Amino acid sequence: MLSLKVSGMTCGGCINAVTRAVQSQDPSAKVQVDLVTQIVSLDTSLTEADASRLITEAGFPVANKA
């Protein structure tokens, strides 16, 4: 399980974009987003670096490890 601090998420559309970004490389990934704390929790086979890159490329910078 990975936990990442992700900035810029404000709504359900943001949650969907982050989820789609991760699942584009790991379709079975489970993604949980907490908009209040800006924490994305991932149950994925991706590395932290790969998940961070995908989320950042979707327009949501990963600040650091949560």
In angstroms, the Cα distances linking 21 to 2, 29, 57 are: 15, 10, 8
CA distance 55 to 48: 11
pLDDT of residue 66: 55
pLDDT of residue 63: 86
Q: Please provide the CATH number assigned to the domain covering 2-65.
A: 3.30.70.100
Domain ranges of the chain: 2-65
- The stretches in the chain having pLDDT less than 70 are 64-66
